[in-house]
């Protein structure tokens, strides 16, 4: 336990600062070059999936199709079956695409923007289109909105998902609000798992916009590290509530196999899939079936994916332990930070004192540790309190991570002490 810095006198703070300056200079002298900015797997994690590279001696799919050739817009049957079993989604609802779910999300947003859905006005023709953005959230979701000029409305996150009182109120009042971004399991960056009640309320809420869509990005749906969180079936909840077309569900194996050569899917109701197929069939004759085939041959079935995820969890757990233990040892009781303790996923989210996040990231950068930019997890990159920092522990080795986390904690303390000294 550290001492509560906010209770220190000016003299004590100055003493503290001198010690921190000395420690910080020590790190600068080490010429570190570490990257904790993006949620990328490390080389050793990627190696665990290498057998996928040798799975194509035979390239005929289970229904006798030559995977080298054109065709198969919806994906090969064995891939659709595997994801159906893994995620509990009807096979008929799934289209398996290329290597990126972000790409599928961008296309989905573009289709709604350009063509509209269900006979409603295409969003591009409306005077304003708004999206709810639970924040902190995934920066690339927000960039999709920014790219299309869709106005983003931040919604605070709670430990059960977005603040649903606020969501319900906003969507009931404003028909320009056309959707919401959701990362329902081990959210990026906080690791929040949506409760059953949150799923039910999202599915059933009354929306002023008849073409309201939930972008359900289950990117970390099978990424349990400490314990498994269960997620309620959003399709079942939407159907039960009489809103069967409300959800566009996305998933990929980017963080299961290879981020550069994984397999992504979009799933939705029959009505939505009909529209998606119509436009997708103009866009492409078919996605990379060889990649789908080798991925499925390696993962085999839903149990094979779970087995593989246990391997990855064993690789990632020590890294999460390092992050959480170092934060606890260095910052608990200082009053300078609070952080999430995710049970899975790829990130830990740290809140430092208001007005200090940019300073912490800059200090770390000057000492050779690259962190995700402060504010990146908020719409327009604007963290209203300049306090949130995303820690992405997966890429560095354990030794590098330990060092980077110690430096990070020194930077948090230094920025916090500097801020207090300014105000005293």
Footprint of ligand PMP (CB under 6 A): 39, 100-102, 138, 183, 188, 217, 219, 252, 254, 259, 264
> Of the two residues 217 and 351, which places its CB atom closer to ligand PMP in the complex?
217
Whether 107 and 98 have beta carbons less than 8 Å apart is answered as no
Q: How far apart are CA 296 and CA 278, in angstroms?
A: 26
Separation of alpha carbons 163 and 179, rounded Å: 15
- In the bound state with ligand PMP, the residue whose beta carbon lies nearer, of 8 and 87, is 87
Instruction: For ligand PMP, give the closer residue by CB, 262 or 353.
Output: 262
- Select 27 or 251, whichever has its Cβ closest to ligand PMP: 251
Long-range Cβ contacts of 242-247 (<8 Å, 24+ apart): 243/203, 243/204, 244/269, 244/271, 245/117, 245/118, 245/269, 245/271, 245/272, 246/203, 246/212, 246/213, 246/214, 247/203, 247/213, 247/214, 247/216
Nearest distance, CB of residue 155 and ligand PMP, angstroms: 16
Kindly tell me which of 188 and 349 has the beta carbon lying closer to ligand PMP: 188
What minimum distance in Å lies between the beta carbon of 263 and ligand PMP? 9
User: Distance (Å, rounded) from C-alpha 251 to C-alpha 172?
Assistant: 28
The answer to whether 203 and 237 are in contact (CB under 8 A) is: yes
Instruction: Output 122 or 259, the one with its CB closest to ligand PMP.
Output: 259
Taking the complex as a whole, the smallest distance from the CB of residue 69 to ligand PMP amounts, in Å, to 25
- In angstroms, what is the minimal distance from the CB of 7 to ligand PMP? 38
- Work out how close the CB of 236 gets to ligand PMP at its nearest, in angstroms, rounded to a whole number: 22
Nearest alpha-carbon partner for 137 in 383, 410, 413, 408: 383
Tokens encoding 332: 């608990």
Nearest Cα neighbor of 34 from 318, 412, 411, 395 is: 395
Least distance CB 252 / ligand PMP (angstroms): 3
Which residues lie below 8 Å from residue 310, measured CB to CB, with a gap of 6+? none
Nearer to ligand PMP (CB atom), residue 38 or residue 124: 38
**What is the DSSP-derived secondary structure letter of residue 230?**
P
How far apart are CB 403 and ligand PMP at their closest, in Å?
A: 24
């Amino acid at each position: 336990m550290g001492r509560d810095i906010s209770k220190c006198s000016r003299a004590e703070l100055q003493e503290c600062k001198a010690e921190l300056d000395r420690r910080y200079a020590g790190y600068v002298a080490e010429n570190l070059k570490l990257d904790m900015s993006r949620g990328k797997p490390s080389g050793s994690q990627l190696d665990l999936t290498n057998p996928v590279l040798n799975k194509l001696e035979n390239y005929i799919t289970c229904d006798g199709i030559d995977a080298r050739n054109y065709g198969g817009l919806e994906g090969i049957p064995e891939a659709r079956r595997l994801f159906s079993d893994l995620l509990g989604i009807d096979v008929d609802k799934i289209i398996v695409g290329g290597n990126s779910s972000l790409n599928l999300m961008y296309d989905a947003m573009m289709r709604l923007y350009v063509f509209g859905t269900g006979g409603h006005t295409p969003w591009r023709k409306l005077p304003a289109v708004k999206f709810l953005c639970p924040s902190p959230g995934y920066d690339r979701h927000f960039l999709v909105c920014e790219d299309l000029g869709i106005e983003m409305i931040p919604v605070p996150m709670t430990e059960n998902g977005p603040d649903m009182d606020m969501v319900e109120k906003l969507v009931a009042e404003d028909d320009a609000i056309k959707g919401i971004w959701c990362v329902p399991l081990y959210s990026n960056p906080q690791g929040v798992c949506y409760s059953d009640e949150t799923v039910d309320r999202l599915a059933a809420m009354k929306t002023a916009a008849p073409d309201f869509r939930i972008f359900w990005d289950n990117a970390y749906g099978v990424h349990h590290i400490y314990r498994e969180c269960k997620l309620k079936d959003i399709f079942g909840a939407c159907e039960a509530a009489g809103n069967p077309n409300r959800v566009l569900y996305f998933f990929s194996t980017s963080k299961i196999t290879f981020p550069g050569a994984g397999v992504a899917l979009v799933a939705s109701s029959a009505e939505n899939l009909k529209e998606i197929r119509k436009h997708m069939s103009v866009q492409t004759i078919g996605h990379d079936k060889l990649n789908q085939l080798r991925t499925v041959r390696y993962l085999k079935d839903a149990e094979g994916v779970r087995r593989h995820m246990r391997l990855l969890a064993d690789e990632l757990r020590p890294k999460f332990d390092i992050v959480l233990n170092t934060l606890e040892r260095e910052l608990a009781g200082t009053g300078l930070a609070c952080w999430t303790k995710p049970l899975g996923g790829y990130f830990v989210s740290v809140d430092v004192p208001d007005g200090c996040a940019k300073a912490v990231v800059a200090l770390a950068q000057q000492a050779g540790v690259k962190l995700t930019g402060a504010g990146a997890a908020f719409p327009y990159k604007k963290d209203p309190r300049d306090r949130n920092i995303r820690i992405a522990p997966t890429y560095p080795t354990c030794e590098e991570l330990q060092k980077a986390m110690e430096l990070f904690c020194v930077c948090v303390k230094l920025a916090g002490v500097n801020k207090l000294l300014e105000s005293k």
